[in-house]
A and B are shown apart, each in its own frame.
Chain A
């Protein structure tokens, strides 16, 4: 299984600012995903981030709000831009394993005031 770390683990931010979340994997992986989990809700897929190509966003999510970088096979960042209280969520990254299961990071808990 892949070991995934995320930074920061949590943060409290002011409205209108931006936060960049890092996702680091202990092995090279092609496919990486970013999810959001709003309070009391299930996970929602934000985008697919494959190395060497632009991220693919799901309906309701746009690049201007959630820009993603994928500079190599072990690392990705998700930025939450121009934040509002509605962006308060847990943000998680995941990678696809050898038998197509997904391994998830521990999440970044974001609170926007």
Chain B
């Protein structure tokens, strides 16, 4: 089973921030959280990852709670091209193996 849980779907207005939550309550101390998105059956695209501190890159920001049991991916100004399924993944400790959950289907509305 996946180590993460995410809402099944979300809508966001174009130009607004999209905040995608993820719960990973069983995460261990040195396990990272990775985020990917998959646009219409293409290969998943890496977005961002983090351990403890908040992270930001050109695509998104990642906010990790202090207890590390949950995180939020933020797309600051969502566009129609951000419509995709977003996956939050915590690889099993000591491995690079990914167990994909169902992800969140984000629809950005014009």
Number of interface residues of A (CB under 8 A): 25
Contact assessment for B46 and A42 in the assembled complex, using a CB-CB cutoff below 8 Å: no
- Inside 8 A of A107's CB, which chain B residues have their CB? 41-43
Bound-state Cα–Cα, A107 to B40, Å: 12
State which of B20-28, B60-68, B71-79, B94-102 sits at the interface with chain A. Answer: B94-102
Total interface residues on B, CB under 8 Å, equals 20
Contact (Cβ within 8 A) A90 B41: yes
The residue that B44 contacts in the complex, of A96, A99, A104, with Cβ under 8 A, is A104
Question: Do B44 and A43 have beta carbons less than 8 Å apart?
Answer: yes
Complex CA gap A105/B42 in Å reads 8
Considering the complex, give the chain B residue whose CB is closest to the CB of A41.
B102
Q: Footprint of B on A, CB under 8 Å?
A: 1, 4, 31, 33, 37, 42-45, 48, 90, 92, 94, 96-97, 99-107, 109
